[in-house]
Copies of this chain bind each other. A is one copy, B any other.
């Protein structure tokens, strides 16, 4: 089960622009997860949400029983400058997200694998509390919640198995320049693993006594990095749910599958590249990830 946002995104990058394209953390994450398992979405959209987007998600066998439809869809407008490392927000219209109250379908409550993708940590916590016996919980967040709801966030981190953060967020949350120190602090709160996403520089997986460094994929051009972190998280938990193996060594593989799907996602706007992605594309790039780090 994946909770988070489903949004309409208006995005400008040096390589083009899209208006009201399908976006949101839960949309990206469930799309990425769908290559490995059959995710259930828990989120909300508005009456203006295009039918074609619903069809797109359904075609990937994503279960939308938990997708409420009310009011107007959450709309984010942002842009990226030359270096593409940071999204700048122009406008955020929360719309139906502003008074989103969780109504969890009964069958969702039996979920074993839970991905709390980026959304208000109070909603993440409330979602988690309704799941009877979760086996494996992954959470993501963003700088906005670290500044605004740090206490809720810390409470939540104590309950999850894996914390996902990008490098800037890790430094911000634990008030240190050292990612190694930040990860140690995070592990002290309870999670079995912390994953630090570093964009083009790859990602780091820290567990109690191990460290894994995943390379970044050498993309010549990044068209739109929106949703890459969500894709990473979705593919990560999707692969673990599929294999049922939660060992550190299998988590390393899951990190690479996350990196693979995220790298494809950056090649085009919105979910455009993922629409035509195949499992054989994924396996091909997974093998490339092996080659580029072999010595």
Check A200/B215 contact, CB under 8 A, given A295-B249, A295-B253.
no
Total interface residues in chain A, CB < 8 Å: 36
Cα A214 to Cα B215 with chains together (Å): 8
Flag whether A198 is at the interface (Cβ < 8 A): yes
Other-chain contact of A295, B184, B198, B212, B220 (Cβ < 8 Å): B212
Number of copies: 2
Residue of B nearest to A217 (CB): B213
Cα A180 to Cα B218 with chains together (Å): 6
Cα A54 to Cα B179 with chains together (Å): 38
Report B-chain residues with C-beta under 8 Å of the C-beta of A82.
177
Check A220/B83 contact, CB under 8 A, given A212-B293, A255-B295, A295-B212.
no
Cα A82 to Cα B177 with chains together (Å): 7
Flag whether A221 is at the interface (Cβ < 8 A): yes
Cα A198 to Cα B179 with chains together (Å): 15
Cα A135 to Cα B113 with chains together (Å): 57
Cα A248 to Cα B11 with chains together (Å): 41
Q: Could you name 17 residue pairs across A and B whose Cβ atoms are closer than 8 Å?
A: A178-B220, A178-B222, A179-B200, A180-B218, A180-B220, A184-B220, A202-B202, A202-B213, A204-B218, A211-B292, A212-B295, A213-B216, A213-B293, A214-B293, A215-B215, A253-B295, A289-B295
Other-chain contact of A84, B177, B201, B212 (Cβ < 8 Å): B177
Report B-chain residues with C-beta under 8 Å of the C-beta of A84.
177
Report B-chain residues with C-beta under 8 Å of the C-beta of A181.
220-221
Q: Which of A253-295 contact B (CB under 8 A)?
A: 253, 255-256, 289-290, 292-295
Report B-chain residues with C-beta under 8 Å of the C-beta of A198.
201
* Contact call A218/B211, Cβ cutoff below 8 A: yes
Flag whether A219 is at the interface (Cβ < 8 A): yes
- By Cβ-Cβ distance, the 8 closest A-B pairs, closest first, are A213-B215, A201-B201, A252-B295, A180-B220, A293-B293, A213-B292, A180-B218, A83-B177
